[in-house]
Amino acid sequence: MIRALSLGLLLAVSTWYPHAWSGERSPAPPKGTAMNNQWTKQATELLRLPDSEFFTLSEERRMALADAFSDLSQDDTAPDPAAVPPRLGLGAPAKVDIVSWGRLPVLLGTFQTGLRRWQVNLTSNLTLYVKERTTGQLLHATPLVSVRRGQIQLPSAGGAPPEGAQAGTTGTTMIMIDLLDRMADHLTTTGEIMVTAVAYDARSNTVRIRHEGPDTPPAPVAGKQSYVRSDLDLRPIIEPGIVVPKHGSAKGGFRIRIAAQLTDADGVLRTELNQPFLPAHVVLVRLDEPATIITATPLVQQVVRPDGQPAYNALFLVEIGGPTGHPVAKGEYQAYLDLGLDFLGPYPLKVEE
């Protein structure tokens, strides 16, 4: 049974939320954002193969894709070869009948320097996040390589760092992952999913897959979270913004604020009472540790834009730490925001006592 969010609570906070938001703006885009967006577009095109090829990819073709991925990821303008940024890329079939095929292939490309390989152990830090469009759930995150009993993974930045040419040497992998196997019984229903790879402070493009399963998809679920505060705003236009603080206190608490205007195509869902809500999550990632996934499903306000098109205003904040926020441990994090169909980040975040 779907639980609707309390409309009375949302109306009660409408007087204070604009105050909480006023005067704050999204930080300037990180340096190199335009270049990263261009790289992501090129990597997406490179790994966009015919659906059937994901099931029949030859070794020769896989190696050719790895070479092309490596060439695309090189950066001759970097002042230090060891400082070339890591890259992650995903490719997947647009549509899969998992009953007939028995698997769901996702092609993963990675590129990193020797220094980066030492800084972040991909075996224990590369994770696939799978978002179900029908339900809004962010499914169980799956590590790149399963750590079997008895295996001991080297910690990130453990031992002596590589130096000289070894630090700047680059390595590329191109592997096929069976997402159906990784996700166990979570992908048995028919629906659309979005998949994103994350390795601490590196994020891939997001691929969308329509999969046909033996079961019908469940209804979307919106639940009330005490640490989420939301405002129903009737303005036809709102200024979008995301505020993720660079520092926060586990004891005193801090807030992540989001303002966005969305459409049905952006992943807005409805409760059983026909109230529109945004399926969202805050993902906090630390090195060599399981991610903290914070669910947020705020109601959104349906409005009509000046051009006559329907839209939804989403203004909400997520309280983290402190006496009323979602619990968080002290540490160095990279924050990611799963908002409807978008997976945004990373945003560096240092949480102190």
Q: In the structure, what pLDDT confidence band is assigned to residue 25 with cuts at 50, 70 and 90?
A: very low
Looking at every residue in the chain, the average pLDDT score rounds to 87
Q: Is the pLDDT of residue 22 over 90?
A: no
Q: Is the pLDDT of residue 153 over 80?
A: no
Residue 223 or 177, more confident: 177
Contacts of 349 (CB under 8 A, 6+ apart): 244, 245, 246, 247, 248, 284, 332, 333, 334, 335
Low-confidence winner among 52-66, 140-154, 279-293 (lowest mean pLDDT): 140-154
> pLDDT (tens digit, 9 = 90+) per residue, 223-268?
899 999 999 999 999 999 999 999 999 999 999 999 999 999 999 9
> pLDDT (tens digit, 9 = 90+) per residue, 36-75?
889 999 999 999 999 999 999 999 999 999 999 999 999 9
Contacts of 9 (CB under 8 A, 6+ apart): 224
Q: Is the pLDDT of residue 9 over 50?
A: no
Q: Is the pLDDT of residue 151 over 70?
A: no
Residue 184 or 83, more confident: 83
Q: In the structure, what pLDDT confidence band is assigned to residue 218 with cuts at 50, 70 and 90?
A: confident
Q: Is the pTM of this model over 0.75?
A: yes
Q: For residue 262, give the nearest of 299, 226, 228 by alpha carbon.
A: 299
What distance, in Å, lies between the first and last C-alpha atoms of the chain?
Answer: 39
Q: Is the pLDDT of residue 34 over 80?
A: no
H helical segments located in the chain: 7-12, 17-21, 33-46, 53-56, 59-73, 98-101, 114-119, 122-125, 165-168, 179-182
Q: In the structure, what pLDDT confidence band is assigned to residue 149 with cuts at 50, 70 and 90?
A: very low
